[in-house]
Chains A and B, each alone.
Chain A
Amino acid sequence: HLQLQESGPGLVKPSETLSLTCAVSGDSVSSTSFYWGWIRQPPGKGLEWIGSIYYGGTTYYNPSLKSRVTIFVDTSKNQFSLNLTSVTAADTAVYYCVARWGTFDPWGQGTLVTVAS
């Protein structure tokens, strides 16, 4: 039973880098069966796909965020991570990690990241 759990700072200062980790349990992050990704949801608003990664390291990013986003896998810890640079208040959101490509399932519980000084 695949499960995902996000972790990371709940508060990030403007212009700094947002870094989140998603711990994977119930399968290997190196599995060829899955893509791993991140989706975010600003408070009270809709969903935005940030990007996804395949086990071999191939990444796909939302064009609107591509210049600031990096997603990578840590096989030794069975987890994958998100870095988002030069954050502003507009990056305040609940960040979800997800599995699979285009049929996002399951989702982590989500973690709220607030960008403020």
Chain B
Amino acid sequence: SSDLTQPPSVSVSPGQTATITCSGNEVGKTFASWYQQRPGQSPEMVIYQDKQRPSGIPGRFSGSKSGNTATLTITGTQAMDEGDYFCQAWNSDTVSFVFGTGTKVTVL
């Protein structure tokens, strides 16, 4: 199954906004989820069903979708937000879950 397309890296200054996109036909057909993976740790879900935030996830994380592109926005980025971010969706053609290629967020 093909991966969803994400930018390889995003750099942001502390307190500024980081925007990560995720593109693919699957995104337009079903819900997208987003996962944060801090260095050396397991991934953690930060957004589900395109824009829902799990309990315990800070309000600076938000999700949206337009057409075949989902977007994760981190408003007021903090140093602790550094890490890799992966989107994920369901591929109804192959009947399988697919992940994005991953985006490394660096807080300068």
Is chain B a partner of chain A in the same complex? yes
Question: Dominant SS at the A interface?
Answer: loop
Asked if A46 lies at the interface with its beta carbon under 8 angstroms from chain B, I say: yes
How many angstroms from the CA of A32 to the CA of B105 in the assembled complex?
Answer: 37
- Among A13-21, A60-68, A74-82, A84-92, the stretch in contact with B: A60-68
Asked if A102 lies at the interface with its beta carbon under 8 angstroms from chain B, I say: yes
Question: Dominant SS at the B interface?
Answer: strand
User: 5 A-B residue contacts at CB 8 Å?
Assistant: A46-B102, A47-B35, A49-B96, A63-B96, A103-B45
Asked if A36 lies at the interface with its beta carbon under 8 angstroms from chain B, I say: no
Cβ A49 vs Cβ B101 within 8 A: no
How many angstroms from the CA of A105 to the CA of B48 in the assembled complex?
Answer: 10
> How many residues from A make CB contacts under 8 Å with B?
19
Q: Which residue of B lies closest to A65 (CB)?
A: B96
Counting chain B CB atoms within 10 Å of each CB, the highest count among A47, A107, A109 belongs to A47
What residues make up the interface of A, taking CB atoms closer than 8 Å to B? 46-49, 60-64, 96, 102-110
Cβ B45 vs Cβ A108 within 8 A: no
How many angstroms from the CA of A47 to the CA of B37 in the assembled complex?
Answer: 11
- With a cutoff of 8 Å between Cβ atoms, the chain B residues found around residue A107 in the complex are 42-44
Choose among A102, A106, A109, A110 the residue that contacts B97 (Cβ–Cβ < 8 A): A102
How many angstroms from the CA of A46 to the CA of B85 in the assembled complex?
Answer: 10
